[in-house]
Structure 1
Amino acid sequence: MERIGALVIGAGPAGLMAAEALGAAGIPAVIAEAKPSPARKFLMAGKSGLNLTKAEPFDSFLSAYAEAAHRLRPMLAAFGPDDVCAWAEGLGQPVFTGSTGRVFPRAMKASPLLRAWLRRLDGYGATLRPGWRWTGWDGGAVRFDTPEGARAVRPGVTILALGGASWARLGSDGRWTGALSGAGVPLAPFAPANAGLAVEWSAPMARQFGQPVKGVALRAGDGPWHRGEFVISAKGLEGGGIYALSRPLREGAPLMADLLPDWPLDKVVARLARPRGKASLTNHLRKALGLDPARLALLMEFGRPLPEGADLAALVKALPIAHSGPRPLDEAISTAGGVRWDAVDAGLMLTARPGTFLAGEMLDWEAPTGGYLITACLATGRWAGQAAARRLQAA
């Protein structure tokens, strides 16, 4: 039976930050990772530009986490957007803030940041064990399937940072739920967050697959109108404008689109009242309203048979978008659900298993894309790592 001081299970952002917090306290961590290499989802997120955090007032930032905000407040106050920026720059990766407040590394990739981070952890004496899949507990021992066969270790403290249940091929497969529920840990069911919508398109819509939809406002149920871009795909609708409404949409709220959010209704009515002549209705809508092919296709797809006059104008301003709910859980960028907050203490330690801490997306919180996800993973990882270090040092 191998005995170690600190064990971190999961080498995503939360787990690596927990290992960093332990290392900063003088405690070298053993990091067990089921995949052959660390931080696969982190690297995938960085392929289109790694959005680390969001530059905005703290209360606005915190509000993105909805009812979990009061739970996350101390962790984000201790390691919030400014701290994330300073941390990245301390790893030699300068950052910049885009026009919407999103913060990115100047390199616009995750790989340089990850390489520098792993070098820092190596300097702290951390050891990465790839291919080590956690299979549960045997009393005080932690069991793994490894490339060399079954292994067990007995750590002084353990931090679980195993992710949610989306993008299983990258490591977040949610298989840990069986071991935790078996240990009496209360769980909230997983649900897709930041997920696309499934739509059964008519054949003519195939011409629009891959086209971005810009200049549109969306509303879920009675909620506020929200500006954001999205993409028409073969499977439905994808993109930030849709992801921001994931929660009310998965709870059954109807989706509406304002195709001309900068125009008041009376302007749309006046433009539609212009003489049409011999122009087809499609050309009339295109010329009178300036609708591009993507928005025009959406109007035709969800509005036919089109009414006339003021009724058509009202449809342009509030077009019902028929859909079949969110795409499957594994296609979501992140997940809601996981370990309930009443299962952990203020230091994120499981009350059912003293000495075992949680971090990252395993906990029951969700947030939109835009830097909120990574920031909370880093903040909870740091918080759990510091709490674990205090426990180990006090033993």
Structure 2
Amino acid sequence: MTALVIGAGPAGLMAAEQIARAGHKVILADAMPTPARKFLMAGKSGLNLTKDEPPEALAAQYPETWIHPYVTAFGSAQMQDFARDLGIDIFTGSSGRVFPTGMKASPFLRAWLSRLDALGVQRHTRWHWTGWEGRAFLFDTPEGPQPVDAKVCVLALGGASWPRLGSTGHWAGLLAIKDIDLAPFRPANMGFHVAWSPHMQPHFGKPLKSIAFLVGAQSLRAECILSARGFEGGGIYEISSKLRNGYPLALNLLPDTDIATLTDRLARPRGKESLSNHLRKATRLDPVKLALLNEWARPLPQDPEALAALLKHLPVPLGAPFPIEEAISTAGGISARALTSDLELRALPGIFAAGEMLDWEAPTGGYLLTACFATGFAAGRAAAERLSSSV
């Protein structure tokens, strides 16, 4: 009997492998000309496979607790073993992030596709899933409409970010007409707009370092980049879900200096010096931090205690998030209540789902890929078991 996997990103490739390893015929269909385009793009700046940390710490990075069993069963250790089994040498950086020694995604993908070919997985590209024709899955292909009758199917079509790489989210409409419960797509791991004044232009493209982001009760030591549109980069991505959900943002410009020490420095006599010169000498703020302070807090308070408090908690007038098409990932998709514990759609028996189609999110740093691999592994195993029990 035949299994169908729709989507040739990490989750789909993993599901196809698990089904093929169980001895079943697998058809793997993808709408793009080549597989795993978003995966390859992610590897251009260094393929961060996972984070080397204990299962409990890794699972804690996923706000949706329903996904914890999957990333615990297939977590950091399993991701690393998987890479080694493909013949990919890996290393762990000082931050705990795990990378291939060569840093790139293409050798990893080539080795993986070669293994899938050896397992007999039939790959089809430029096959665009358009819905159903009776019980068959219908595809628009270069050769015309193509129905596929499969006993089981794993859907792994990605979310709605980076549509030019294949994650268009078109599948949501196909599932909605089948009464599958879906959460609206929202951008995740994205930048935010800031309405800069013209004097900030010289600082565009520069990093904002040695600061702490203050979001609710959270204080996060991180960095970001000032761009013409606003804030971008890893630090802002890590807190983007809270910011998207309405939490205000503030900056601690001097996280290594306590407020009492800072107040004392600012209270020293400044003579005929201007407040700005006195501030610069007392705090040693770099030009980017000084620019932000002047951008959002002029006129600066003369009182040393009030000025110190402002340096430790500078409110940021953040605008809207960057559009979903530019986000690294998305929240939303198939809700947990629409799924069984095997990631099978309750309303469509025999159809499973994995990867960013599911309603979960996580920060960058290896967590996104880990969950895609983990849910693909779980859905593939479950689909294989369903096929085996039907024989």
TM interval, short-chain normalised: over 0.9
What CA deviation, in whole Å up to 9, does each residue of 1:329-377 have, x standing for no partner? 1111111111011111111111111111100011111111111110000
SS at 2:288 equivalent? helix
1:284 and 1:241 map into 2 onto residues whose CA distance is: 30
Counterpart of 2:5 in structure 1: which amino acid? V
3-state SS of paired residue (2:225): strand
Is 1:169–2:155 an aligned residue pair?
Answer: no
1:290-336 alpha-carbon deviations (Å, 9 max, x no partner) = 21122222112122221122211111000001111311111111111
**Aligned mate of 1:45, from 33, 38, 42:** 42
Q: Which position in structure 1 is the counterpart of 2:221?
A: 227
Letter in 1 for 2:368: L
**CA deviation string 1:250-309 (max 9, x = no partner):** 111110100001110011112222343555444433322121122222112122221122
SS at match of 2:300: coil
Q: Which residue of 1 aligns with 2:380?
A: 385
Q: Which blocks of at least 5 consecutive residues in structure 2 are unaligned?
A: none
**Matched residues in 2 for 1:280 and 1:128: separation?**
70
Q: Distance in 1 between matches of 2:132 and 2:277?
A: 67
- 1:25 is aligned to 2:25: no
- Contact kept? 2:266, 2:308, Cα under 8 Å: yes
Aligned to 2:32: 35
- What is the CA–CA distance in structure 1 between the aligned matches of 2:273 and 2:235, rounded to whole Å? 33
Tell me the distance in 2 between the aligned counterparts of 1:116 and 1:297: 49
Deviations 1:145-167 (A, max 9, x none): 11122211111111100111111
Distance in 2, Cα, partners of 1:279 & 1:145: 73
2:333–2:357 CA contact under 8 A, matched in 1: yes
Pair 1:346 & 2:344 matched:
no
Q: Secondary structure at the match of 1:229?
A: strand
Which of 223, 243, 247 aligns to 1:249? It is: 243
What is the TM-score normalised by the length of structure 1?
0.96
Give the whole-Å Cα distance in 1 for the aligned partners of 2:2 and 2:274. 75
Distance 1:321 1:138, change over 3 A: same
- Match of 1:216, SS state, is strand
Amino acid at match of 2:44: K
Structure-1 residue corresponding to 2:266: 272
Counterpart Cα distance in 1 of 2:270 and 2:44? 47
CA change 1:386–1:288 in 2 (3 A) is same
Q: Over residues 31-55 of structure 1, what are the superposed CA-to-partner deviations in whole Å (9 max), with x where a residue is unaligned?
A: 1111111111111111111111111
1-structure distance, mates of 2:330, 2:132:
25
Change (3 A) 1:393 1:265: same
Residues 279, 112 of structure 1: CA spacing in aligned structure 2 closer, same or farther, 3 A cutoff?
farther
Q: Does 2:130 align with 1:124?
A: no
Shift of 1:96: 1.1
322, 326, 329: which is aligned to 1:327? 322
Match of 1:156 among 148, 151, 163: 151
| 1:193 is aligned to 2:188 | yes
TM-score by length of 2: 0.96
Task: Mark the CA change 1:271 to 1:111 in structure 2 (over 3 Å): closer, same or farther.
Answer: same
Tell me, yes or no, if structure 1 residue 291 matches structure 2 residue 288.
Answer: no
- SS, match of residue 249 in structure 1: helix
CA distance in 2, matches of 1:131, 1:282: 61
**Are the structure 2 counterparts of residues 299 and 74 from structure 1 closer, same or farther at C-alpha, using a change threshold of 3 Å?**
same
Q: What is aligned with 1:139? A: 134
Residue 54 of structure 1 corresponds to 51
For structure 1, the 5+ residue unaligned runs are: none
**Secondary structure of the structure 1 residue equivalent to 2:154:** strand
The separation in 2 between residues aligned to 1:42 and 1:321, in whole angstroms, is 33
Residue range with higher mean Cα deviation, 114-123 or 73-82: 73-82
Q: Secondary structure at the match of 2:320?
A: coil
Q: Is the 8 Å Cα contact of residues 7 and 31 (structure 2) preserved in structure 1?
A: yes
Residue 358 (structure 1) aligned to one of 345, 353, 372: 353
Counterpart residue type for residue 163 of structure 2: A
In 2, distance between residues paired with 1:296 and 1:28?
Answer: 63
Cα distance between partner residues in 2 of 1:254 and 1:119: 48
**Residue matched to 2:90:** 95
Task: Indicate how the Cα distance of structure 1 residues 280 and 48 shifts in structure 2: closer, same or farther if over 3 A, else same.
Answer: farther
Identity of aligned residues (%): 56
Separation in structure 1 between the aligned mates of residue 116 and residue 274 of structure 2, nearest angstrom: 65
